[in-house]
Structure formats: structure tokens, C-alpha cells
Amino acid sequence: MPSIPYLSSLAATSLLLSASASQAKASAPPKYLFGTTCLPGPLQPSSFNLTTTPSCAPSSGDPPPWHPFTARPYCLPKTDYCIFTHAGFHGSDRGLSVIDVRPYAITTEDTVVDNDDEVSRTAVTAVADMLVSASLSGALEPLPDLFSPEAASSSSSSSSSATTTTTAEKTTREPTSEEPDSKNLPYELRDLPNKGKGLIATRPIPRGRIFMIDYPAVLADTKLPRHVKQAQGRELMAEAIGRLSTRGREEVLGLARQNEDEERKKRVPVSEDVMKTNSFVVEVQGREYMALFPKIARMNHACKPSAVTRFNSTTLSNTAMAFRDILPGEEITISYSTFGLPSTIRQQNLLSGWGFTCTCDLCTSPPADLAASDKRREKVSRLGQEVIELVSRGRKEDMQQAVALYSEAVEAVDEEGLVPHLGGHYEVLGRLWGAAGEVEKGREWAQRGREETEMFERAAMG
């Protein structure tokens, strides 16, 4: 019988330290006609909900040079940035605006694009292609200060991607959800004391159930603040949001700002403040983008959240699912911080990145309980590193010790509630047992892991 292969250091790191649920990159979808060229990636006619869906065949007439975008791209003078907009992305009446570098095929010199010849189909395809392999961390990442006076001359790098690794989603099909019919939503937006607004469950939401699907309203290159002057950056951001539908603008501009200080409101335009306060960081083919999902942004932070988010790189959808059973009347929360961090580091990150001190149930629990939580989280991190070192040696006795340490770490993960299910961890234990020579025990743990993962995925699909 073949033995279960050794667990690589990468797999050990991913499954031990993962604490939220998102998905791996999906294979590229079918391509559709774009003039005489097939559009790559998720920005295809079916995504835009066009009246007629073209196919890869000769067309009866040439579409506008910026097709399938519904508005002429706007390129800001004396910058390398343009705005690409579609009014009905994924059938939404909100719209989508993308702020990105001026594609190489647009050759205008310091002028706003004002004629068809200056926007080639190749340029628009280039922007679409940049979005093909987007992947989103389960944790929000603080964004750099947008459009500070020093931004354009600064050579410092932007905020790094969140380091939380996550359990891979085994399907790329669009999940079922109660989202399309607003009357069936299991939550509602309410005013909350000292929090502004938040989402409250109106009926039970079982663990693993997807209850929200959202699409970006704005995507913007995170390097934008470093390559434009303050006034230019603010103009681009305002123009991008202004190009959304009336409903889209109201939805975006109605989101929370970093704080409600009146002086700050006078200094910082609402479009800039809203974008910084509510955006995820999305990695697209090795580049980072700010991605604003207006519905997802309505969920407040908690260090032990009731929900997690997952991004689908094929459809550009961001789904929210119950991390645990959510009861009626309970606030639905996600974590803005990487899971597994001790309380002091979490508070520092939240204050510097989002301008607030966390007062969630965990952070306001009795000192002894908070200290015990910190100890468990530090234990998981420490044991994870020890397991990685043991696995890298590859000796049988090291694998036996790795099994013991990993089992101890999984107990701490479970007690602390760092993952919605333990299927991935059980599968890792199976591989470790196999590597230690206990093949039968390895099979048992691996099977247990697969069964728990499948049960969780069935719940997610409703």
C-alpha cells in the first residue's frame, strides 16, 4: 500500500495557521468575443449582463473602442491613470469603476481621452486581463494614507498583503444565496450604539451558510497614492465613484468613515475617507488593488467574528458565510485583523489602520479570560513553527513528535475558535501520521477531515 506523503512545510503553515475561509485561484473561464478578440477572465459579456451575448464569431458591426465598458475611459491629465466603468457589472444596478494605470495602447499626451481612436480595444482588454486571477485574503488589510501631500514623492512601499492563509474552496461555481430577494435576507441594517450601523441577524443562520454575495463597486491600484499628487488622486477617486449609478453612489458614500470628527470631515473628502475605511486589499497577478464591496463593508469588526468572507476569482464575487451558528438579534461581524494575533497587537493594528479601539466581547472580557485567549493564540503560533521545523528534517522520530505537537495545536485552535471547521487540520494530522509510519491511523484522520470538510461545504451551498 502506498504511504501517505510527507507534509510539506508550506502545507503545514497553510493549514495550521489558517483562520478564515476563502478560496484558491480558479481556472480561467471561457472567453467571449471582444471585437475580433476574445475577452479574457471574468470581465466577459455574461458578467456585464449585456442585452445580447456575443460569441467568438464575426460581428455584424464594430462595437465602441471601449466596449464592453459602458462609458468612455477617463484618463487624468499628467498622470498614468485612467478610469474604466461599466454600469451593469454582473447585472448590478450599482456599476463598477476601475482606476488603473493607463494601458500601453492609450497614447494620449496629458489630455483627457476625447475621441474614439485614442482608446484601443487592446487597452480595454489589458485592464480586463489584470483582473483575471484576483485573490482576496480573508482578513482586511489597512490601506496607506490615501493622497497625502507627500504620497506622490514617497518611495516607500504600500501596505503589504494580509498574511492569513486559508482553506481552499473546492468549487468555482457561484454559490447559492438568499441575497437576490431582499425580502428573504436573514439580516437587516440597524443603528448600533457607539458603532454607527451594523448588520443584525433576523433569523438563525447555521454555521457554514452563505448569506451574502457582493461585487466590487470600485477597484483602484494601491500604488495610486504614491504616483499622483493629492489633488489628482482625490479627483480620480471622486470621478470613479461619481461614475456609478445614483444608487451606487448613495450606497458607497453612505458607508462609515474612519471617524466622525468634524475637522477631519473638512480636510478629507468623503470619497477618499470611505475608500480607505471600507476597502479590502485584492492581489491581482502580483499587484495590489483596493476593492470596495459596499454590502460586505456594512459588517463591523470582532476579534472572534460570527462570519468570514471568501472571494471568487472567476466571478469577482465576495461571499459572506456564517463562521458559527448565528442567532436572531445577534450582530453579524467579520475580523478586520489577521486571525490568531494576541490582543495587544490586534488593538495596535486596528487603531493605526482603522482608527478605533476594539470593544468586542473578547477584548472586553475579564482580564484572566483575555490572557488565556492570548496564551492559546501564542501557543498555536509557537507550535506551528516547531512542527514546520520537525517536518523539514523528515526523520521518522521527528514526524512522531510533530504529530504530538500538531494535535496539541489543533486542540488550542478548536478551543479558541480560530477556524469554522477542523477538516483541514484533521487531514494534516492524517498526513503526519502516515509520515510517522502509522499508515492506517493516517487514513482514519484523513477520512475524518474529508468528511468534516464535505459536511461544511454542503452547509455552505444550502
Which runs of consecutive H residues, i.e. helices, occur in 417-438? 423-435
pLDDT tens by residue, the chain, 462 residues? 333 333 332 233 333 333 233 333 332 322 222 233 333 333 444 444 433 333 333 345 566 666 667 778 888 888 889 898 888 887 778 999 989 887 643 444 433 344 334 444 444 444 444 333 222 233 344 444 454 444 444 333 333 333 233 333 333 334 444 444 556 899 999 999 888 899 999 999 998 899 999 999 999 988 888 889 999 999 999 999 999 999 999 999 999 887 666 777 778 899 998 998 888 887 766 678 889 999 999 999 999 999 988 877 667 788 899 989 999 999 999 988 887 789 999 999 888 877 789 999 999 999 999 999 999 988 888 888 888 888 888 888 888 898 899 888 888 888 888 877 788 888 888 888 988 888 898 899 889 888 888 877 776 665
Which of 153-156's residues contact partners 24+ apart within 8 Å by CB, and which partners? 154/226, 155/226, 156/226
SS3 (DSSP) at 337: coil
Are the beta carbons of 276 and 145 closer than 8 angstroms?
A: yes
Q: Quote the strand ranges of 279-434, DSSP E.
A: 279-284, 287-292, 300-301, 307-312, 317-322, 331-334
- In 10-165, at which residue ranges do the beta strands (DSSP E only) sit? 32-34, 37-39, 74-75, 81-86, 96-101, 134-136
First-last CA distance in the chain? 38
- Domain ranges for the chain: 9-19+362-460, 32-179+214-339
Is the entire prediction scored with pTM above 0.75?
no
- Mark 423-449 as b/e (b = at least 16 C-beta within 10 Å): bbbbbbbbbbbbbbebbebbeebbebb
